Structures are given as structure tokens and as C-alpha cells.
């Protein structure tokens, strides 16, 4: 499936149009966005989120990110997410209401991020299974949120990075909705990467079914240029569309 997403195809365009709006709204909904999308403030938040998602996928590069590449990417996504209000790491101590987790001290943020991307690159290069990949992404996600590099927008940035990482590593992305918010937040608070990885796996598989459904609809209309499924993806596709 992700061969389709790495080429300029009709499927890639349609799927990402659908994905980015769902991801943007779901991520903001976790943080209490109102249902009144006619409110200009809410509309601007969605626009900022969409611009950040577009930016990160337009910046796609094969291979692991360097220290500088990673920190620059984080800052640019944060700038987009916050509408230009934040473009660098925080300089004050962070206190998250309701959390007992100690966030990184400002002088240590850059070093903590360097260690994070070093460890992540090593684990990804040595990853041997899909389940292991979800665990690696869960550990990375929790650690990034515990570092809490920015004054604002950390959750939104981390969820965009999660989507980017999962697509880059050839698994379907996760869309974390308000229905899974309690689980999601508890796993992060308790540093429970095993629990979070299971949630990621479940949501990722759900998203794969969504991708297959869209692919099927486009295929029925003759809008898929060429079927590039692997044998396993073709088997799952055949089971779903029966």
C-alpha cells in the first residue's frame, strides 16, 4: 500500500486529503476544540494543523534524520502548528496540569532530543517485526512528550511526527480520537509503552482498513493507475472487499 503513497498517484492525493483533515480535527478535538467551526479561532487552528501536516510530508526524505534535521523539523512543525507563535524550544520550566511526570529542563532539551533521535534511529535500523516497530514508535512518542520541547503545541506536534514516522516506516498511521483519549493519556503519563504500542497497532490496523476501502472505491471507478499491492496486502484487500 505504501508504495502508492510514495509516488505521485491519484490514490496518494485522495488518501492524504482525507487523512490530513481527519488527523487535524481529531488532534485538536483531543485538546478541547469546540464544535463551532464557524468560529474563526477554531478555523485558524485547523488551518495551522493542516499546514503543518502538508509541510512535513512535502519535506519527506528517505533514511534516518540527523540530529540537526530532526530538531529543525520539530521546530518547523511547531511553528506551523502554532501559527508562527513558536519556532524554538522553550526557555522556562514546564508544568503540565494533572501530570506528575517531570519534563526536561530547558538547558537539557536539545541534548535530550539528540539522545532520543539517536536511540530511535538505532532501534529502527535493527527492527525485526511490525510489533517491535509499534513499540519503538510508542517509546519515541512518550519520550518526546515527556521532553516537552515547546511552550505550546507539544501534543499536536508529537502526533504529526507519529503519523510521519509510521508512514515513513511502511505501516498505516494512527488517528487518535477522543474515544481513545483516556487510554492514550494514561499510557503516556505512566510511561507504558507496551500499552501504547498495542493501541497504536489497533488504530493502525483500523486505518489500513480505511485505506483499503478508499482504494476499493477508486479502483471500482477505474481511478487506480496500477495495482502495487504486496501479496499480503492483496490478501487483506480481497478479504475486506468480499
Cell of 239: 478479504
Average confidence score pLDDT of the chain: 86
Read out DSSP for 25-65?
HHHHHHTT--S-TTSHHHHHHHHHHHHHHHHHHHT--SSPP
Please report whether residue 59 resides in a domain.
yes
Triad 89, 176, 160: Cα angle to 5°: 35
Q: Where are the alpha helices (DSSP H) in the chain?
A: 2-5, 10-30, 40-58, 67-81, 109-125, 130-147, 154-168, 181-189, 193-220, 231-241
Q: Is the pLDDT score of 97 beyond 80?
A: yes
CATH number at residue 14: 1.10.3290.10
The reported pLDDT for the residue numbered 3 is 46
The reported pLDDT for the residue numbered 1 is 41
Please report whether residue 241 resides in a domain.
no
Triad 136, 125, 102: Cα angle to 5°: 35
Nearest residue to 161 via CA among 140, 147, 191? 140
Domain that holds residue 45: 2-236
Please report whether residue 122 resides in a domain.
yes
Please report whether residue 40 resides in a domain.
yes
DSSP state of 88: S
Q: Is the pLDDT score of 4 beyond 60?
A: no
Number of domains in the chain: 1
pLDDT digits (tens, 9 = 90+) for 106-129: 999 999 999 999 999 999 999 999
Task: Identify how many contiguous H helices and E strands the chain contains and give both numbers.
Answer: 10, 0
Q: Is the pLDDT score of 215 beyond 90?
A: no
Please report whether residue 70 resides in a domain.
yes
Read out DSSP for 137-155?
HHHHHHHHHHH--SSS-HH
Alpha carbon distance 216, 223 (integer Å):
10
Please report whether residue 242 resides in a domain.
no
The reported pLDDT for the residue numbered 152 is 93
The position carrying cell 518526546 is 144
The reported pLDDT for the residue numbered 220 is 72
pTM equals 0.86
Query: Residue 103 — very low, low, confident or very high, per pLDDT cuts 50/70/90?
Result: very high
Amino acid at each position: 500500500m505504501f508504495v502508492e503513497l510514495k509516488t505521485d498517484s491519484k490514490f496518494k492525493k485522495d488518501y492524504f486529503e482525507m487523512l490530513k483533515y481527519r488527523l487535524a480535527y481529531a488532534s485538536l478535538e483531543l485538546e478541547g476544540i469546540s464544535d463551532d467551526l464557524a468560529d474563526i479561532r477554531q478555523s485558524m487552528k485547523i488551518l495551522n494543523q493542516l499546514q503543518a501536516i502538508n509541510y512535513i510530508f512535502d519535506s519527506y526524505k528517505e533514511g534516518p534524520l540527523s540530529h540537526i534535521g530532526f530538531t529543525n523539523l520539530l521546530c518547523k512543525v511547531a511553528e506551523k502548528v502554532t501559527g508562527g507563535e513558536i519556532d524554538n524550544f522553550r526557555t522556562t520550566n514546564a508544568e503540565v496540569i494533572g501530570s506528575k511526570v517531570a519534563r526536561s529542563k530547558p538547558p537539557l532539551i536539545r541534548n535530550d532530543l539528540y539522545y532520543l533521535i539517536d536511540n530511535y534511529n538505532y532501534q529502527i535500523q535493527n527492527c525485526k517485526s511490525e510489533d517491535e516497530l509499534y513499540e519503538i514508535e510508542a517509546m519515541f512518542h512518550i519520550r518526546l512528550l515527556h521532553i516537552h520541547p515547546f511552550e505550546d503545541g507539544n501534543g499536536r506536534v508529537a502526533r504529526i511526527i507519529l503519523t510521519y514516522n509510521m508512514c515513513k516506516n511502511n505501516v498505516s498511521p494512527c488517528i487518535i480520537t477522543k474515544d481513545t483519549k483516556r487510554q492514550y493519556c494514561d499510557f503516556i503519563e505512566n510511561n507504558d509503552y507496551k500499552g501504547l504500542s498495542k493501541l497504536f497497532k489497533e488504530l493502525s490496523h483500523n486505518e489500513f482498513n480505511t485505506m483499503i476501502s478508499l482504494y476499493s472505491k477508486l479502483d471500482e471507478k477505474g481511478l487506480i493507475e496500477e495495482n502495487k499491492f504486496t501479496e499480503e496486502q492483496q490478501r487483506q484487500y480481497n478479504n475486506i472487499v468480499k
